[in-house]
Structure 1
């Protein structure tokens, strides 16, 4: 498979496009934002007028979109991807959505002899740009070898988790922990600072002790410097993910008291107008 469709050319999509082109794939791209599409064109992708036109050109399509509803609209609509794809084609959804939606799309695709994998990502725009993403994969194992060359072009760690939806379960659990640690760091820094210990010194203590964590390594500069305009992963996207996590826990009848608490904290930050800031801006949500 050399012809790859890409729907979504934003912060993650442009890095995905770059590495697909770098690895010899012909990329047919679409985004509603013309500026984002122009960036992908400059990288070497071929702009298309609609998702349907992308599907007509592609052997496999990657979607990188903000949430469940737009994924369904792009894939399942009358003029969507599935209406254009040939039987035997592949769809790799690298968005973060709920597992139930992923499973529904998988069944819809299977009825049309199209192979659907949920492939959510970890690593952010920097990982997308460098091709070092972690990719969590759910879908039919019998067809995974067909798409591994594509996945290895954009990611470093490809983790096969099992049936359709399992990739999304893993991603939501992962982001729930990231959200929880970030919120906890905000509280700890606030208490320490109030008591006279500067954030920078407290960060050094945390990273040299048992509380060492990668969240502080990634987002620490924003938290320590109070520089939340430097967006690594927006708060509105983390808020969406933590809500999907709590909805997933409810769907599977598994109590999630910590998840619900953290969901309330992020929702409060959203209500205070912090959605477009970095997700670590939750650390100032009570100010």
Structure 2
């Protein structure tokens, strides 16, 4: 444990945040939590985490604060403004946003925090609910090296692959690259299964053959079995993935580059969301082809 950090705040104990907070607490840190719906955090409170009614109360107590919320608008509201974390955090505190959010917003937060003597890092993750449960997330960070090193022992409680990618916003840009790679890959995984199904093949056998060859991917190994089983419950919400693809397309536009594969994936995901599946897992993209 880093000597100057003993009290850690965790805001956003949803599908992934809950497991992540538990892993940090097992590292010997005193955990302080806040989430919008207190009832969803009851088990964590019973397990010894300390509840706060408002984020600013939590901020006054903690040496480091981790946030894992839904949208860039949530991040902005949480960090900036009179009631934000930056306004109420202790001088020298470490703020770690693990939400997948906008690189431009990460830079704004970093600058505002720095002006008040607070260290801000953007550290989005990949690995979904399984990675969170197994403390095997890939963590991509952006910010100052000394701040990254100070919170590394905390990040180590949650992830396996933990890399500082560059200055503020670099973590978010790396996560965008991650989401871009996944988006088109998910289209390919769905089309492969639909093709195999219509060819009259046994899907689990097809999966066994192709997942160990050149077509192998995390999505194919982890999510294709869920598609075959008709399990569309969320490890990662479709609505959040659509949000991520929007951020990536906007960032790409700002950089003057075209991403047609990503644009197509977003269009297909939007179709599934409009059909009433926005709160399902990303593997529900399969339903764009197969409603049976």
What TM-score bracket applies, with the shorter chain setting the length?
Answer: over 0.9
Query: What corresponds to 2:39 in structure 1?
Result: 35
Query: What corresponds to 2:117 in structure 1?
Result: 113
Q: Cα distance, 1:270 vs. partner? A: 1.0
1:255 aligns with 2:258: yes
Cα distance between partner residues in 1 of 2:47 and 2:234: 23
Query: What corresponds to 1:237 in structure 2?
Result: 240
Give the secondary-structure state (helix, strand or coil) at the position aligned to 1:273.
helix
Query: What corresponds to 1:66 in structure 2?
Result: 70
* 8 A contact 2:252–2:259 mirrored in 1: yes
Query: What corresponds to 1:99 in structure 2?
Result: 103
1:128 to 91, 112, 132: 132
Query: What corresponds to 1:138 in structure 2?
Result: 142
Give the secondary-structure state (helix, strand or coil) at the position aligned to 1:135.
strand
135-144 vs 22-31, which moves further: 135-144
Cα distance between partner residues in 2 of 1:206 and 1:132: 24
140-149 vs 85-94, which moves further: 140-149
Q: Cα distance, 1:204 vs. partner? A: 2.1
What are the equivalent positions in structure 2 for 1:1-287 lying under 5 Å apart? 1-228=5-232, 230-287=233-290
* 8 A contact 2:238–2:277 mirrored in 1: yes
Give the secondary-structure state (helix, strand or coil) at the position aligned to 2:211.
helix
Q: Cα distance, 1:250 vs. partner? A: 0.9
Give per-residue Cα distances to partners, 1:36-56, cap 9 Å, x unaligned: 221321232100010000101
| Residues 1:251 and 1:43: Cα distance change in structure 2 (over 3 Å) | farther
Cα distance between partner residues in 2 of 1:20 and 1:169: 25
Q: Cα distance, 1:198 vs. partner? A: 2.9
* 8 A contact 1:4–1:26 mirrored in 2: yes
| Residues 1:227 and 1:153: Cα distance change in structure 2 (over 3 Å) | closer
* 8 A contact 2:140–2:165 mirrored in 1: yes
Cα distance between partner residues in 1 of 2:41 and 2:216: 39
Q: Cα distance, 1:16 vs. partner? A: 1.7
Give the secondary-structure state (helix, strand or coil) at the position aligned to 2:215.
coil
Give the secondary-structure state (helix, strand or coil) at the position aligned to 1:272.
helix
Q: Cα distance, 1:69 vs. partner? A: 0.5
Cα distance between partner residues in 2 of 1:82 and 1:73: 11
- Report the number of matched residues: 286
Cα distance between partner residues in 1 of 2:243 and 2:234: 16
Cα distance between partner residues in 1 of 2:204 and 2:23: 36
Cα distance between partner residues in 2 of 1:210 and 1:26: 45
Q: Give the RMSD, CA atoms, in angstroms.
A: 1.4
Q: Cα distance, 1:22 vs. partner? A: 0.6
* 8 A contact 1:17–1:43 mirrored in 2: no
TM-score by length of 1: 0.95
* 8 A contact 1:20–1:153 mirrored in 2: yes
Unaligned segments of structure 1, at least 5 residues: none
